[in-house]
Amino acid sequence: MKHTPSRATGRPTLAQVAARAGVSQITASRALRSIATVDPQLAIRVHDAAKALAYVPNPAARTLASARSHSILVLVPALSNHLFIETLEAVQDVLRPRGFEVLIGNYHYRQDEEEELIRNYLSFQPCGILLTGFNRSETAAQLLTNAGVPCVYMMELRQEEGIVCVGFSQEAAGAKVADHLLSRGRRKLVFVGAQLDARVLQRRDGYQQAIARAGLSPAIEIMTPEPSSVELGGDLFNQLLAAHPDTDGIFFCNDDLAFGASFEALRKGVAIPERISVVGFNDLPGAGQMVPRLTSVRTPRATIGQQAAASLLKLLDGETPEIPALDLGFELMIRESS
Amino acid sequence: MKHTPSRATGRPTLAQVAARAGVSQITASRALRSIATVDPQLAIRVHDAAKALAYVPNPAARTLASARSHSILVLVPALSNHLFIETLEAVQDVLRPRGFEVLIGNYHYRQDEEEELIRNYLSFQPCGILLTGFNRSETAAQLLTNAGVPCVYMMELRQEEGIVCVGFSQEAAGAKVADHLLSRGRRKLVFVGAQLDARVLQRRDGYQQAIARAGLSPAIEIMTPEPSSVELGGDLFNQLLAAHPDTDGIFFCNDDLAFGASFEALRKGVAIPERISVVGFNDLPGAGQMVPRLTSVRTPRATIGQQAAASLLKLLDGETPEIPALDLGFELMIRESS
DNA sequence: GATTAGTAAGACAGCGCTATCTCAAAGTCG
DNA sequence: CGACTTTGAGATAGCGCTGTCTTACTAATC
């Protein structure tokens, strides 16, 4: 008798399931993968056998044999912004129950890091990729194309043949904020931006365009590539007050900046909204509790994650989503700060 | 001539690297894995060949052949608390450069979900697991033991043979807060807790014990199993004021609760710290910018992630960390709110 | 009733890598 | 100097699964 090979995992294998069900291994494989060409009766026998043995497929073997994993890569520019956390959670909620493994890559808003992550993670042969926005290096884009892995883009929209994306119009959101501030009689408008990724710039553009449409001179721009934070918001606010004391309306590209500014305003006795109206972006947790309660644009980040995952599943099934560029809109939450 | 099998990945394989280096496949394998028994000269030849071919190992094949992946599972109770994000980032920063794939599991503070995640992810044969705390279901613990995968526990400490953990004493942190409030002359102390996971309760215990040591009657406890949030903090604060108007010191188990309470205090004109001293926990971003600036316990969550990952790497190398239960301490950041 | 088409099940051969065993060459010792 | 250990490299045999080709059968067609 040959001894049992020591390097076996010890877990039941497909062969054992097949033996127990009295079918061939390949039939068991097909039955468990719900492939149509298996007799329903046999399929039931196989499933029963699998359950009885507590069989769990070996993903490595499956990936090796099929040259395609069941893992899905999600690339986000940051985890520190709560926004992306909600998107990730939604993505996981859709994909994990369907048996997919979700790999999370954080590229810290750096193109080179994103490229590196793509390069590394492609070696895992993911069966699909969820990406944030369209702004990436040529090489990264090329790697994705060459890999031939289905991709769905999140957050931004682009109407283009073969591109599947889920998001909302960052420009429209920026414009909406401008219109709102203008409707409140504000005329000395400012845009405060940090991080300066593509989406921040799109919001800025929409904001400025709306101001231009109203026949006013462009908003002053206070911008820094530093990562957005509460502390930075306070600093930029102080800087702004010193340089442009007559400012009467500010659009912060992210809520945390607005939070920091609000704190400084309280400290300095700058009346919000009486003297300056303040609007944030993303409606992060706490915006509605701030003093004063912060007006902000509520973005559908969870729904974006959910729908992006759903679209990717469609692509994996060989279908095309009926709406390739899905616009989920946004909502301006008008509160006390404006 | 036999046709090239269509299901090949198309990527260069180890066999090609070996051929190019003029060695056998297994020697190439050993060279690339830096196994000592390979002649340095040969090893260099192999590495050159690999570089020339842009060879990337196939993780699935590796996992299948060795019955052990290069992925490490990290289980955290939540992503919504910024605390764990920082831990995760630190873990990734240590493990990714070493070639490990980091799998993130979020169990939403639910034991059943954690158990399910462990069950699922064990099928990926992770080579190590990082866990949060010690509080989990019997079954989950059993699964981990049976799997024989090295584990490192984060956040809490336990001196026990065979347990490797990195964290700090939650009790000591709670006690420190109590001592601080007492040193400020506060006598009507309150503990406000949400989520009520094991660590919150440990902080509470340390807090109460320090109060008892000072010979005072126990702090009033306002506790709810709801998830911690800014909004909830405001609600609990209002509730507390109504029920115990003479309160003069509050310890919130997490900063977001303290944030919400501070906002409500501003709104209601309750003077912090004159009438009530407030202390938070974790020193989350923004705590130092609050109005008033929030006193909080700064927890070493990033270092915990880093050291936990380092300890796990040691375990994977067959070594034991010199300090199995690594206490990284904490720091009370005394600011305006107390 | 013979031929064709269609379908379900199986045989076979890997996917790309590593564990294990084997063997030759070099080094060690009394 | 021969027997014995050590060491480096290769041969072999899978890991557990799925793609592809084949075969056995049933149903459909004239």
The verdict on B182 and B162 lying in the same domain is no
Please indicate, yes or no, if residue A8 is contained in any of the structural domains: no
The verdict on A135 and A159 lying in the same domain is yes
CATH code: domain of residue A42: 1.10.260.40
Q: Which helix (H) or strand (E) holds B15?
A: helix B14-21
The verdict on B49 and B147 lying in the same domain is no
The verdict on A91 and A129 lying in the same domain is yes
From the C1' of C12, which residue's alpha carbon is nearest? A26
Q: Which helix (H) or strand (E) holds B146?
A: helix B138-147
Between A38 and A305, name the one with better pLDDT. Answer: A305
The verdict on A176 and A98 lying in the same domain is no
CA dist list (Å): A176 to A206, A295, B186: 8, 12, 49
The verdict on A164 and A144 lying in the same domain is yes
- Write out the residue range of the structural domain in which residue A306 sits: 70-168+302-329
Please indicate, yes or no, if residue B28 is contained in any of the structural domains: yes
Residues of A with Cβ-Cβ distance to B120 under 8 angstroms: 96
**Number of domains composing chain B:** 3
What is the per-residue pLDDT across A70-83, written as a single tens digit (0 to 9) for each? 999 999 999 999 99
d(CA A83, CA A195): 14
In sequence order, which residues have a C-beta less than 8 Å from that of residue A126 and are 6 or more positions away?
A: A69, A71, A72, A73, A103, A149
Please indicate, yes or no, if residue A64 is contained in any of the structural domains: no
d(CA B338, CA B331): 15
Strands A277-282 and A249-252: parallel
Q: Which helix (H) or strand (E) holds A129?
A: strand A128-132
Amino acid at A41: Q
Q: Is A250 helix (H, G, I), strand (E, B) or coil?
A: strand
Domain end point (choices A25, A57, A89):
A57
* A251, A282 contact by CB (below 8 A): no
- pLDDT by 10-residue block (mean), chain B, 338 residues: 50 91 91 83 90 92 91 96 96 93 95 95 93 97 92 97 96 98 97 97 98 97 97 98 97 98 97 97 98 98 98 90 96 98
Please indicate, yes or no, if residue A2 is contained in any of the structural domains: no
Short-list B257, B136, B138, CA closest to B194: B257
Please indicate, yes or no, if residue A335 is contained in any of the structural domains: no
- As given in the structure block, the two tokens for residue B253 are 């188990």
* CB atoms closer than 10 angstroms to residue B333: 16
Short-list A231, B317, B77, A131, CA closest to B88: B77
In sequence order, which residues have a C-beta less than 8 Å from that of residue A249 and are 6 or more positions away?
A: A181, A184, A186, A187, A188, A189, A190, A276, A277, A278, A279, A338
The verdict on A144 and A24 lying in the same domain is no
The verdict on A254 and A267 lying in the same domain is yes
Please indicate, yes or no, if residue A208 is contained in any of the structural domains: yes
Nearest-CA distance from A178 to chain B in Å? 27
For an interface test with B, give the residue of A6, A64, A74, A110 to mutate (most B CBs within 10 A): A64
Rounded distance in angstroms from the CA atom of residue B38 to the C1' atom of nucleotide D2 = 29
* B271, B54 contact by CB (below 8 A): no
The verdict on A84 and A148 lying in the same domain is yes
Chain C: nucleotides under 7 Å from a protein CB?
A: 7-12, 14-20
Short-list B285, B140, B4, B336, CA closest to A284: B285
Nearest-CA distance from A271 to chain B in Å? 14
Reported as a pLDDT band with limits 50, 70 and 90, residue A7 is: low
d(CA B29, CA B47): 10
Token pair 């996971």: residue? B197
Q: What pLDDT shows up at residue B7?
A: 61
Amino acid at B4: T
- As given in the structure block, the two tokens for residue A238 are 């102080």
Contact A289 B259 (CB under 8 A): yes
From the C1' of C9, which residue's alpha carbon is nearest? A27
What is the per-residue pLDDT across A110-131, written as a single tens digit (0 to 9) for each? 999 999 999 999 999 999 999 9
The verdict on A215 and A281 lying in the same domain is yes
Reported as a pLDDT band with limits 50, 70 and 90, residue A4 is: very low
Q: What pLDDT shows up at residue A3?
A: 34
CATH code: domain of residue A288: 3.40.50.2300
Please indicate, yes or no, if residue A9 is contained in any of the structural domains: no
Q: What is the mean pLDDT of the segment spanning A267-278?
A: 97
The verdict on B198 and B292 lying in the same domain is yes
Nearest-CA distance from B291 to chain A in Å? 6
- As given in the structure block, the two tokens for residue A195 are 């991080």
Contact A288 B256 (CB under 8 A): no
The distance in angstroms from the start CA to the end CA of chain B is 83
Note the maximum CA span of chain B.
Answer: 91
Q: What is the mean pLDDT of the segment spanning A155-175?
A: 97
From the C1' of C6, which residue's alpha carbon is nearest? A37
Q: Which helix (H) or strand (E) holds A101?
A: strand A101-106
Q: Is B167 helix (H, G, I), strand (E, B) or coil?
A: strand
Name the burial class of residue B210, with classes exposed (0-12), middle (13-18) and buried (19+) by CB atoms within 10 angstroms of its CB: buried
The verdict on B309 and B160 lying in the same domain is yes
Please indicate, yes or no, if residue A244 is contained in any of the structural domains: yes
Q: How far is CA A135 from the centre of its chain?
A: 14
Kindly state the DSSP code that residue A279 receives in the 8-state scheme: E
d(CA A92, CA B104): 10
